[in-house]
Amino acid sequence: MISRRVDRVANLDSLVTMLLPMEKDRMVYKYISFASDIFEVRDVEFADTKEQIVKGGRDLFPLLPKAFEGIKEVGVIGWGSQAPAQAQNLRDSLDEAGCDVKVRIGLREGSSSFEEAREVGFSEDADTLGEMFDIIKKSDLVMLLISDAAQAALYKEIFAAMKPGATLGLSHGFLLGYLDSIGESFPEDMDVIAVCPKGMGPSVRRLYEQGKEVNGAGINASFAVHQDKSGKATELALGWGVALGSPFMFETSLSSEYRSDIYGERGILLGAVHGIVESLYRRYQRQGMSPEQAFVESSESITGNIVKTISTQGIKAVYEGLSGDDKEVFKQAYSASYLPSKEILQEIYDEVSSGNEIRTVIMHGKRINKFPVGKIDGTDTWQVGEKVRAERDEENIPLNPFTAGVYVATMMAQIDVLLEAGHPYSEVVNESVIEAVDSLCPYMHYRGVAFMVDNCSFTAKTGSRKWAPRFDYILDQLAYTAVDNGKPVNEDLISAFENHKVHAAVEECCKLRPTVDISVGSSSSTKEIVIE
């Protein structure tokens, strides 16, 4: 059966934006229901909306042969962030399920990653490792996990190399955004699907391994069916997500995915948190703190207690856990930071939606040989941070109420920009909350925010470096001066936060979170900590 797809306009605001020519990019955002003959599709109440998900688990592995029916060869192309994790998870799950499917790695000729792929069990002798175009030609499912810039440069050759009837699989919608920006599209004779884990590759693999004894644990994933010529694309996408170990999967579109994903990494996932820490680190020193204490009260407070609270109890729990003067400090910081942060976040969203941000990434890539990207972890902030982490007392990391107010205000502003653009709650919560607190921040806590920026994907690195200074500047110039000048708390903003419908959606997502907390011990090498 061809999977049923029923689009429903989310609300009146979305309908209004659809009627405005200047807002045509927002037309893609509709709540979607889908059906599967293989996996159970569950209705979930996210705030005031009903959405559909498929809940994962190792108990679903016996269903994988049916989901992968007709797929004999899977080519995982690339070895950056997602590819090592997804290739290993897929191989292990399909083996456990008894699927007669060969998972191969395809790399560019001469790539240094051949040795890394061999170290985890792929090899030329076993015919599971080879040159990328040779692997593409053999594959029934081509999982294209090379960098965004490489996809933009090589897409014509990749499409030409794919055999008739093969499916193109993506884990990011960037290529669609690029094709849209130059007036091109995917070949019409192929299925195009996406499974997009809401976290970096090391989290996808680490949680999969940790969850083997508890019926699975991993990173939530969105999935999209962009073209379904075979009538089987939805089942294959869901099978792919189950094989990765995703606790739950929700449907999106490729357009919605790349807008929310590129936007999110420039916001609270990377760019915004970087700017917040830099600005608070200076502020606290101006108030008389030592550099070490300033780092503890800013960066450590975020990546320690604040995100841990959000991960298990929700955003509002950070606020409700405060009392007396601390709650008033939070309210001051929140009400002063929300609108300045939202101004920048709306600008980011508009830049992504218009295609400008994608063009920025492509242009930056063309300059890379002339202007190599240097590291940013040599500043005082991150040098002090290295010392603080070495001497960290995990049990005594404070939850600074001012830091919490700034961070939560920025997270809520990001959420509101996405909701106002018509994105469904499942996507909003995953891109603004879950990916931050369950995937990225644990690694930031282990190695530092600047380390994450220095070692993320080119697209994320370009965006976070571009926008972090904007958050730093606007918070310092507008938010903190408002507090210092005695501007009263905006009670309307606080009331809107207290009564926001997203809290119910986050609470529901918390019930579906991984069954174990991610462990990022000493085995997490520099090479592993890379995000797409």
Beta bridge mates, 142: 75, 168
Residues 231, 2: contact at Cβ < 8 Å?
yes
Does the active-site annotation cover 445? no
Task: Please give the Cα distance from 441 to 49 (Å, whole number).
Answer: 28
| Distance from the Cα of residue 446 to its chain's centroid | 19
Task: Please give the Cα distance from 504 to 500 (Å, whole number).
Answer: 8
Task: Please give the Cα distance from 394 to 398 (Å, whole number).
Answer: 9
Q: Tokens 């400090």 — which residue?
A: 329
Bind-site residues: 261, 265, 323, 431, 435, 457
Bind-site residues for Mg(2+): 261, 265, 431, 435
Task: Please give the Cα distance from 240 to 194 (Å, whole number).
Answer: 9
250 membership: H or E segment, kind and range: strand 248-251
Helix axes 324-354, 458-474, angle to 10 degrees: 130
Given the residues 172, 364, 445, 500, the one annotated as active site: 172
Closest CA to 277 of 429, 410, 88: 410
Closest CA to 74 of 128, 117, 35: 128
Q: Spell 72-87 as b/e; 16+ CB within 10 A means b.
A: ebbbbbbbbbbbbbbb
Q: Which amino acid is at 399?
A: L
Task: Please give the Cα distance from 442 to 440 (Å, whole number).
Answer: 6
Task: Please give the Cα distance from 279 to 344 (Å, whole number).
Answer: 15
Beta bridge mates, 169: 143, 193
167 membership: H or E segment, kind and range: strand 167-170
Task: Please give the Cα distance from 438 to 444 (Å, whole number).
Answer: 11
- What is the bridge-based pairing of β-strands 102-107 and 73-77? parallel
Segments in 63-167 forming alpha helices (H): 64-67, 82-97, 113-119, 132-138, 148-161
Bind-site residues for substrate: 323, 457
- What is the bridge-based pairing of β-strands 191-197 and 129-131? unpaired
Task: Please give the Cα distance from 296 to 328 (Å, whole number).
Answer: 21
Task: Please give the Cα distance from 531 to 69 (Å, whole number).
Answer: 31
Beta bridge mates, 144: 77, 170
Q: Which residues are known to be catalytic?
A: 172
